[in-house]
Amino acid sequence: MRKYYLDNIRWCTVVLVVIYHVIYMYNAEGILGGVGKITNLPVQYYDLYQYIVYPWFMPILFVVSGICSRIYLERHTEKEFIRSRTLKLLVPSTIGLFAFQFIQGYISMSISNAFEIMAEVPGFIKYLIMAISGIGVLWYIQILWIFSMMLVLIRKIEKGRLYSVCVTVTVPILILLVLPLWGAAQILNTPVIVVYRFGFYGLQFLLGYFVFSHDEVIERLKKMFIPMMVAASALCVFFCIRYFGENFADAPVNRSLLFTVFSWFTCLAILGGMAKYADHETGFTKWMGQRSFGLYVFHYLGISTVALYFAKSGILPAAVIYPLSLIAGFAAGYLLNAIISRLPFFRWAVLGIRKDRSNV
């Protein structure tokens, strides 16, 4: 049977990512993002939203991706897994950059005034730079492809032995896993582009595959949902009080023990809670789930376009810019997904769809 709670976690998290990027684009606390502050408020307390969701919303996606990899490999060969992940993840984050995402690169570079210092740069070189700058949110699927290929090698080594042992993992052990996660948070972090955290996210992915793909483990989490949620909520408050105003996306904050503990307890609460209360499908959740990938791929283009042409110029007040950016994020996500998924070549290059599908 399909595990609908995984689909629901995924699309709900993508919705939170869209909201996050609206706040991020105009935030005044913690991290320089996009246009920056566009209000006259001495403190934008709603920027707290970033601190509430950032520590855990990408980790939970990597955990879910690990679980889904296990489910796929139970029914398909490793060669089929490699082909499917390469089509869905690698092609859009490489070829897709040159086929479409260079537009995102142009918008992002325009926001940062990058073209002012590139007046003498040849057009072809500008295009290459725009394509690379268009990676944006696609960093997630880039490193997810790397993790998927690593998983194939790991499977050849462990031959199912580690997976079989992990069915016995209890809740106390799940809690103690925060320690190796904290250790993983310290390693394989790229400088400057801080989202590439191969140690931290890689371990989350592997835990999804080896541990949380077991129904027995999820059943244990379902019973512990309330205390996990209480603990996660308390840690959220503590984290926001401790770090509000600091750069939550870079060291030392994103490598702190508090960051890791808050992230992990929230992931455990989400897995248990969604498995317990959201393991079902409705017409709405099916529609959202089928379009979550397209929403993720395209939403930032809508938000950043509003930021460039309306927020940066100051022609509209902040009270209009915020809701307009949110609407643009969802509109771009759903409309571009509907259009590009029906265009030959582009549906393959940008969305990893080999053939047209009526349900996208």
Q: Which amino acid, one-letter code, is at 118?
A: M
Residues contacting 260, CB < 8 A, separation 6+: 178, 181, 182, 185, 200
pTM, two decimal places: 0.95
- In angstroms, rounded to a whole number, what is the distance separating the alpha carbons of residues 169 and 217? 7
Q: In sequence order, what are the beta bridge partners of 189? A: 197
Using CA atoms, how far apart are residues 236 and 53, in angstroms rounded to an integer?
Answer: 9
What pLDDT sits at residue 358? Answer: 43
| Structure token digits, residue 171 | 């809740």
Q: How do residues 82-136 score in pLDDT, each as one tens digit? A: 999 999 999 999 999 999 999 999 999 999 989 988 888 898 999 999 999 999 9
* Single-letter code of the amino acid located at 40: N
pLDDT at 354: 86
- DSSP of 256-324: SHHHHHHHHHHHHHHHHHHHHH-----HHHHHHHHHHHHHHHHHHHHHHHHIIIIITTT-S-HHHHHHH
pLDDT at 118: 86
Residue 230 has a CB neighbour count (10 Å cut-off) of 12
Q: Cα 187 to the chain's mean position, in Å? A: 20
Distance CA 315, CA 309 (A): 9
Counting as low any pLDDT under 50, the low residues of the chain are 356-360
Domain boundaries, the chain: 4-93+135-351
Whole-number pLDDT of residue 263? 98
> For residue range 25-77, what is the model confidence (pLDDT) as tens digits?
999 987 877 899 999 999 999 999 999 999 999 999 999 999 999 999 999 99
d(CA 176, CA 207): 13
